[in-house]
Amino acid sequence: MIEMQARVVAVDNDGSVWVESVPSGSCSSCAGSGEEAGGCGAGKIGRIFTLKTKRYKVIDTLNSKTGDEVIVGIAEGSVLRGSAAVYLLPLLLIFIGAVLGAQWAPVPLRDPASILGAASGFAIGAVWLLRYSSRISKDPRFQPVVVRSVRSNFFMLKEIKS
């Protein structure tokens, strides 16, 4: 599970909350790996290109309140599946549509048929993606979820290598 610390900034009546990320030196994967350099540096690069804090709608199962600090998690596989659904499938359908359009058209009309086939593949991919996203929009397996609360009076000692 990919986790990050966040602060609840608003509570919705539908069982979800709006959170802003709490800045940290590294993600949970890097923090737990014992890397001395602080991991891959993606968090630092992300902060350079982010001008303002972003808010995210998250499914809340803990009845969090505004101002609470929480740990938000999302299953690792869902990120990969979501990326494939958004990028790979539409590109694959565009490619298949272009190839089929060029194959079934007579030689002088292959270029326009290929363009029409690619546009048809894109349209089919867009319709499928709309249906797919509406189907998984409330599924906790594919959405970020409040995993646990962070206690303000709780601290953890970390081993320091010499």
CATH of span 2-75+142-149: 2.40.50
| Measured distance CA(108)–CA(30) in Å, rounded | 57
Is residue 137 scored above 90 in pLDDT?
no
Query: 3-class secondary structure for the chain?
Result: CEEEEEEEEEECCCCEEEEEECCCCCCHHHHHHCCCCCCCCHHHHHHHHCCCCCEEEEECCCCCCCCCEEEEEECHHHHHHHHHHHHHHHHHHHHHHHHHHHHHCCHHHHHHHHHHHHHHHHHHHHHHHHHHHHHHCCCCCCCCEEEEECCCCCCCCCCCCC
User: pTM of the full predicted structure?
Assistant: 0.57
Q: Using only the alpha carbons of the chain, give its radius of gyration.
A: 22
| Measured distance CA(27)–CA(132) in Å, rounded | 29
Is residue 161 scored above 80 in pLDDT?
no
Dump pLDDT digits (tens) for 85-120: 888 999 999 999 999 999 988 888 899 999 999 999
| Measured distance CA(22)–CA(51) in Å, rounded | 15
| Measured distance CA(144)–CA(74) in Å, rounded | 5
Predicted pLDDT at 158: 60
Dump pLDDT digits (tens) for 26-81: 555 555 444 445 556 666 666 666 656 788 888 888 888 888 888 888 888 888 88
Q: What residues contact 136, with CB distance under 8 A and at least 6 apart? A: 142, 143
Please list the residue range(s) of the chain that carry CATH number 2.40.50.
Answer: 2-75+142-149
